[in-house]
């Protein structure tokens, strides 16, 4: 099992120290969330399945790939991912360039977690149609894959069209991993058919089973990565149960508050047998 650390659940002032600690303690990945902008009209911000706003307008927001580029210079082995990037809120040139850059400056450690998003306010503010965000994301992923792998690319589609272009440099990873977030039927289909894996919302062992069963039916046996935000872990012995379900990465939050994050990560690493930095061989890019 690989273990990731969600920086978005901490005060931003702690991100640097937690990232460096996670890298040295043997955690496999770091994850940064993303929104482009929040409007002050909270009537647009009710989180699905609730009656309350899912955002606070004055929450600090960062350019996730850019922030991860900075963390790449402070770390050496940990993979650097977005959970999740609103890939289709920009032209695919913009997002494809951002992740190619991250992959290069990190030595092949980028993971591109993408999602269609739930919050209409930022799409409206950016002048991008919220209703078509799903198919727009599907097309953007397809375009980015081509930009990352083909010598030249021309495209004519429903949402994006451009003449033949060159796109250099390519990512270091032969296949820069793209993981789809979301739990709707469309999101699971996207993960299973267009992407290299799925990244979940917070779950318990029981609550994640239906989504994993639906994914298994859609995947048709092909190689696939499953990343789950674990709501909680009872003990190290529980990890084998997650693995039996087909989960290969758990994003964990063993701390109660920002102040004890590094201490709790250190204890988690010891309890779960993670290999500290000085005992590990150098990482190599996947793909």
Q: Tens-digit pLDDT profile for the chain (287 aa)? A: 999 999 998 999 999 999 999 999 999 999 999 999 999 999 889 988 888 999 999 999 999 999 999 999 999 999 999 999 999 999 999 999 999 999 999 999 999 999 999 999 999 999 999 999 999 999 999 999 999 999 999 999 999 999 999 999 999 999 999 999 999 999 999 999 999 999 999 999 999 999 999 999 998 777 899 999 999 899 999 999 999 999 999 999 999 999 999 999 999 999 999 988 756 655 555 55
SS3 category, 182: coil
Domain ranges for the chain: 2-225+240-274
Q: Does domain 2-225+240-274 sit in CATH 3.40.50.10490?
A: no
Which phi and psi angles does 146 have, rounded to 5°?
-70, -40
- Is the pTM higher than 0.85? yes
Q: Which residues contact 82 (CB under 8 A, 6 or more apart)?
A: 31, 32, 33, 34, 64, 65, 68, 111, 112, 113, 114
Which residues sit opposite 99 in a β-bridge? Answer: none
Which phi and psi angles does 254 have, rounded to 5°?
-80, -5
Q: How many helices, marked H, and strands, marked E, lie in the chain?
A: 9, 10
């Amino acid at each position: 099992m690989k273990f990731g650390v969600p920086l978005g659940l901490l005060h931003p002032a702690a991100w640097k120290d937690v990232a460096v600690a996670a890298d040295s303690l043997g955690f496999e990945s770091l994850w940064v969330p993303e929104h482009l902008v929040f409007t002050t009209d909270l009537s647009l911000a009710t989180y699905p399945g609730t009656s309350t706003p899912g955002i606070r307008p004055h929450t600090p927001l960062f350019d996730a790939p850019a922030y991860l580029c900075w963390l790449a210079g402070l770390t050496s082995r940990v993979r650097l991912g977005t959970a999740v990037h609103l890939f289709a809120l920009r032209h695919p040139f913009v997002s494809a360039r951002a992740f190619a850059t991250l992959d290069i400056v990190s030595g092949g450690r980028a993971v591109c977690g993408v999602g269609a998003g739930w919050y209409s306010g930022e799409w409206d503010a950016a002048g991008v149609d919220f209703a078509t965000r799903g198919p727009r994301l599907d097309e953007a992923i397809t375009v980015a894959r081509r930009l990352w792998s083909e010598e030249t690319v021309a495209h004519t589609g429903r949402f994006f069209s451009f003449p033949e272009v060159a796109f250099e440099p390519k990512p270091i990873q032969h296949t820069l991993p793209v993981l789809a977030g979301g739990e709707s039927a469309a999101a699971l289909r996207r993960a299973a058919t267009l992407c290299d894996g799925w990244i979940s919302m917070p779950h318990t062992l029981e609550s994640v089973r239906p989504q994993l069963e639906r994914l298994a039916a859609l995947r048709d046996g092909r190689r696939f990565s499953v990343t789950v935000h674990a709501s909680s872990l009872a003990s190290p012995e529980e990890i084998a149960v997650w693995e039996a379900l087909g989960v290969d990465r758990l994003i964990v939050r063993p701390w109660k508050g920002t102040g004890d994050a590094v201490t709790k990560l250190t204890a988690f690493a010891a309890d779960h047998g993670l290999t500290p930095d000085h005992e590990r061989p150098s990482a190599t890019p996947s793909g």
